[in-house]
A = this chain, B = another copy of it.
Amino acid sequence: MDRMNEYAGKLETLDIAGMRGEDFLLTWDKTDDELAAVFTVADALRSLRERNLSARVFDSGLGVSIFRDNSTRTRFSFASACNLLGLAVQDLDEGKSQISHGETLRETANMISFMADVIGIRDDMYIGKGHAYQKEVSDAVKDGHERGILEQRPMVLNLQCDIDHPTQTLADLHHLIRHFGGVDRLRGKKVAMSWAYSPSYGKPLSVPQGVIGLFTRFGMDVTLAYPDGYEVMSSVEMTARENAARSGGSFRRTHSMEEAFAGADIVYPKSWAPFDAMQKRTELYGRGDAEGIRLLEKELLGHNASHRDWECTEEKMRTTRDGNALYLHCLPADISGVSCAAGEVAASVFDRYRVPLYRQASCKPYVIAAMIFLSKVTDPSEALRNLEKRGAARNRL
């Protein structure tokens, strides 16, 4: 009870009026207060679940999901968040739908939204497309609501786009806050967001971009390490630099994984594809140039292969702060000798961090639920107090 009062009280000190009814697309669209509110509500919802108390705020309503790429974790995280709050999930499976037969997006967006409270979208395949798609859906339902087509306006929630992956990076950050004992403890922490080798090609850039765009807001010293040629979006680097300047942290780039790891408190070694190559691929797909795509893929796999030494090994881990940096990954990882011959991380390193990694992942459903809660619940702090007061066990009459 006291803990819940604390969370509700904390919310009251934050300026979160701007979240009401709004989308969650990019972390840098949100104020510091708004991000603090996400963590506070996520903590509150987890506290209820720890005690098996209901966090149900909706008596009905739909969470619509659109996954334009395969997904287990994000699918279940979204479904879990919706269920926690009382929303039913309805998936738009484009394979089963008529979207491919000439429906315009604007039309589809309205047709799926008659009872939707939230539309969660994962669209991370093509540079320049994912975020644009989410914006287009958002504009369509906002317009539909204003014109009397939709009685309610659903929020659009970015479950991963070509630019950012806010549900992942806020879960990552929440994990850090919990691990280090408070957001204030993050100040001055050294983060190595590093490229790592993978035998596959074309992994999205949203995680490294999301991490440098978010972690730099909390006074951390963030290093982005990657082999020459594996650049990320320059506009996000700009955001990272500005954030660092404002927060008293720092942002720098290096082409040495070793340099990034040396003395790091936190390491996040993860493969991604070069921004320029992804842009080229998007164009090739746009032109339907199969031969060009095949050649690009071959070229990229060749580049990857020349960086096999970018692996998170025990040796590299020993160079981190007290040889004991916190290892992060968004999962699934390419584990050398386990899921592939050679990959992002040595099996012994991954195994040692398995429990913290799963805890990191466990933050995601609560973060998603908090995003929905803060957009759709009329008075969030009052709602938290009422949930506690109600004190309803999920499974008792």
Q: Report which A residues bind B (CB closer than 8 A).
A: 46, 49-50, 52, 54-62, 64, 67, 70-73, 75-77, 79-80, 83-86, 88-90, 92, 96-99, 101-104, 107-108, 110-112, 114-115, 117, 144, 147-152, 331-332, 334-335, 338-340, 355, 358-359, 361-362, 365, 376-379, 383, 386-387, 390, 392-397
Q: By the criterion CB–CB under 8 Å, are B54 and A60 in contact?
A: yes
List chain B residues, Cβ under 8 A from A80: 62, 90, 114-115
A394: chain B residues within 8 A (beta carbon): 58-61
The answer on a CB contact under 8 Å between B72 and A338 is no
Residues on B with C-beta less than 8 A from A99 are: 72
Asked if B72 and A98 make an inter-chain contact with CB atoms under 8 angstroms apart, the answer reads yes
List 15 A-B residue pairs with CB atoms under 8 Å apart, sorted by A's residue number.
A46-B151, A52-B152, A60-B86, A61-B83, A62-B83, A70-B98, A71-B96, A71-B98, A72-B97, A80-B114, A83-B90, A114-B362, A114-B365, A144-B358, A147-B358
Question: Shortest distance in angstroms between A236's beta carbon and chain B's nearest beta carbon?
Answer: 25
A359, B148: Cβ atoms closer than 8 Å = yes
Q: Is the CB of A70 within 8 A of B96?
A: yes
**Taking the nearest CB of chain B, how far is it from the CB of A99, in angstroms?**
7
Tell which of B60, B103, B110, B112 touches A55, judged by Cβ atoms closer than 8 Å.
B60
* B-side contacts of A54, CB under 8 Å: 59-60
Q: Is the CB of A376 within 8 A of B395?
A: yes
> Does A334 lie within 8 Å of B115, measured CB to CB?
no
Q: A60-B84, A72-B111 are in contact. List 12 more A-B contacts (CB 8 A).
A: A49-B115, A49-B151, A60-B86, A70-B96, A71-B96, A72-B96, A101-B332, A102-B340, A148-B359, A149-B362, A379-B396, A383-B397
Tell me the minimal C-beta distance from A142 to chain B in angstroms. Answer: 13
The one of B88, B114, B339 in contact with A88, judged by C-beta atoms closer than 8 angstroms, is B88
| A110 and B59 form a contact (CB under 8 A) | no
Contacts of A61 in B (CB 8 A): 83, 394-395
Verify A49–B102 contact, CB threshold 8 A.
no
Q: Are B102 and A57 in contact (CB under 8 A)?
A: no
Residues of B within 8 A of A338 (CB): 102, 104
CB distance from A160 to the nearest CB of B (A): 13
Cβ A358 vs Cβ B107 within 8 A: yes
Pick the residue among B88, B102, B393 that contacts A89 (CB under 8 A). B88
Question: Nearest chain B CB to A43's CB is how many angstroms away?
Answer: 12
Smallest Cβ distance from A114 to chain B, in angstroms? 5
Q: Which residues of B contact A117 (CB under 8 A)?
A: 395
Which 5 residue pairs are nearest across A and B when measured between Cβ atoms?
A: A102-B339, A72-B97, A386-B397, A80-B115, A149-B358
A362 cross-chain contacts in B, Cβ below 8 A: 110, 114, 149-150
- Interchain CB contact under 8 A, A70 and B97: yes
| Cross-chain contact B365 with A383 (CB below 8 angstroms) | no
- Which residues on B sit within 8 Å (CB–CB) of A98? 70-73, 332
